[in-house]
Amino acid sequence: MESLIEFGQDNLLLTGLFFAVLVAWIVWEVARLGRKWQELDTLAAVRFINQEDPLIIDVSNSTDFAKGHIAGAIHLPPSRLEASNQKLLKEISRPVLVYCRSAQVSPQMANRLVKLGFENVKMLAGGLAQWESDKQPISREKGAPSKKEKKKSK
């Protein structure tokens, strides 16, 4: 124990950095546990899509959405995700999977969806970049077919 104290005294900068990282990590974990949405890796997201039939929302910009997205995803950039979006609020009881290209914007959008009243919100960890890296299929179609189009195809 004495050698640990001596090391700490001899290496104040290193000890200070260690405690700063430790505190930051604890704060991060507490914040993560307090979220009302959950982060899913690719495998869990595939399972979620297959079992729950969620509303899949791509919050990427238009260019990234056109380059590719998860099949059945609707494009809803952050500027269109508002409380006045009646089309979205009609789906409030459905589970939601939200993602963007690199998972930089989707955490804020997941928070906004929870504030709008969605209860089962999941976010794709790593975004579409991770989805593609894990060899999952992407679509380049305009977006999810409407309920009328689904009925016509049956």
List, for residues 10-31, the tens digit of each pLDDT value: 999 999 999 999 999 999 788 7
Looking at the structure, give the CATH architecture of the domain made up of residues 37-144. Answer: 3-Layer(aba) Sandwich (3.40)
Nearest to 96 by CA among 111, 84, 86: 111
In the prediction, which pLDDT does 136 show? 96
Ordered per-residue pLDDT tens for the chain, 154 residues: 888 888 888 999 999 999 999 999 999 788 777 788 999 999 999 999 999 999 999 999 999 999 999 999 999 988 887 755 788 888 999 999 999 999 999 999 999 999 989 999 999 999 999 999 999 999 987 655 544 444 444 4
Q: Which two tokens stand for residue 66?
A: 């056109």
What are residue 124's phi and psi, to 5 degrees?
-75, 115
- Hey, what amino acid is at 30? V
pLDDT at 93: 93
CB 95 within 8 A of CB 122: yes
Asked if 45 contacts 124 with a C-beta cutoff of 8 angstroms, the reply is yes
Domain ranges of the chain: 2-32, 37-144
pLDDT at 79: 83
